Homo-oligomer: A and B are copies of this chain.
Amino acid sequence: MTSEIRQNLATRQWVIIATSRAKRPEDFQPASTAERELSGRDESCPFCPGNEHMLPGITLEVPGPGPEGWQTRVVPNKYPALTHEDDPQRYSRGIYTAMPGYGQHEVIVETPRHDRDIPQMSVEEVGILVETYHQRYVDAMNDDHHMMTIIFRNHGPMAGPSLVHPHSQLVATGIVPRAIRWREEEANRYFDDRGRCVFCDILAFEIQDRRRVILENDTFLAFVPFAAEVPFEVWVVPKRHQADFGDISDEEKAGLASALREVLAGLHTKLRDPDYNYVVNSSSRHQAGEPHLHWYLQIRPRLTIPAGFEIGSGMAINPSIPEEDAAFLKADGGATE
């Protein structure tokens, strides 16, 4: 078989697994500039301690053990895509619909250290980061006008323009984008058909099948999805059913921190610090607590470039085999418990 087309069970989207174009995992060159030479502090970096005058403000600081007194720091985005200036009311522009850019856009500085990326952090430090995600997520969703909150991280130049100091971002919007609704509608249909959450079914199957599992701990499973859209895509999914990231427990925060750090350390070591994005896919407002949805953290390395076919079809061509990607990432790391 030259290639296989696989269906994402949750979204019913198809992906071409192009085995004929497949490369060995070792053949993927990181798209970014291999070694990043960074020092602990950069004079021109607004996220470094001592450069607070370069920030538009400080929303929150979570204490840490270092001399700075803080481990994570939340600051408004200096060039926000969305703000609270106007109400989230729709209006017409001719035949079209539009609305003001209502929402919240902030930066989560992950560490005082300019050169300390997640793989170099302790599990406790990553735990504080997850705790910060959770606090800001809950805070954002306390605004009734926020329909959806997305937490994401862009790592490396191919993953989007950004400052190099380790940071994540949070965006809350006054609408639910159509693509999110599509995912929810498919999950709802699956639940109506089977009476079970599609993500819970995927978890149960992957835990038993094991070919795509990278690691498992008490609360989380990390695996390459069956219909991965890009090489080395990884989903980190809570084993307990929960639609909303806001519902994560303290034990789960620790489990997520441990799993996230280990997966990113594996990517860093085995693929030589590839560029990637990760995003927390949580439920939109009014879907929180629903039995058909299940939040997950999705990591997408940027080793390939989507082209015209992907734009036209919405269907990815993945030149690697999910089972081989998982085996490569798992090797000599493997299940931690």
Q: Give chain A's interface residues, CB within 8 Å of chain B.
A: 1-7, 9, 11-14, 16-21, 79-83, 85-86, 93-102, 148, 150, 152-154, 158-162, 169, 171, 173-175, 177-180, 182, 201-202, 205, 209, 226-227, 277-281, 298, 300, 305-309, 311-315, 317
Contact = CB atoms under 8 A, between A and B. Distances in A.
Nearest to A209: B94
Interface centre among A21, A154, A307 (most CB of B within 10 A): A307
Nearest to A6: B98
A158 B81 CA distance: 24
A141 to B, nearest CB: 15
A258 B332 CA distance: 59
A7 B101 contact: no
A79 B18 CA distance: 9
B2 A82 contact: yes
A14 to B, nearest CB: 5
Chain A interface, DSSP helix/strand/loop, else mixed: mixed
A162 to B, nearest CB: 7
B160 A306 contact: yes
B308 A175 contact: no
- Interface-centre pick from A97, A182, A308 (highest chain B CB count, 10 A): A308
A210 B237 CA distance: 48
A183 to B, nearest CB: 8
Contacts of A162: 307
B180 A313 contact: yes
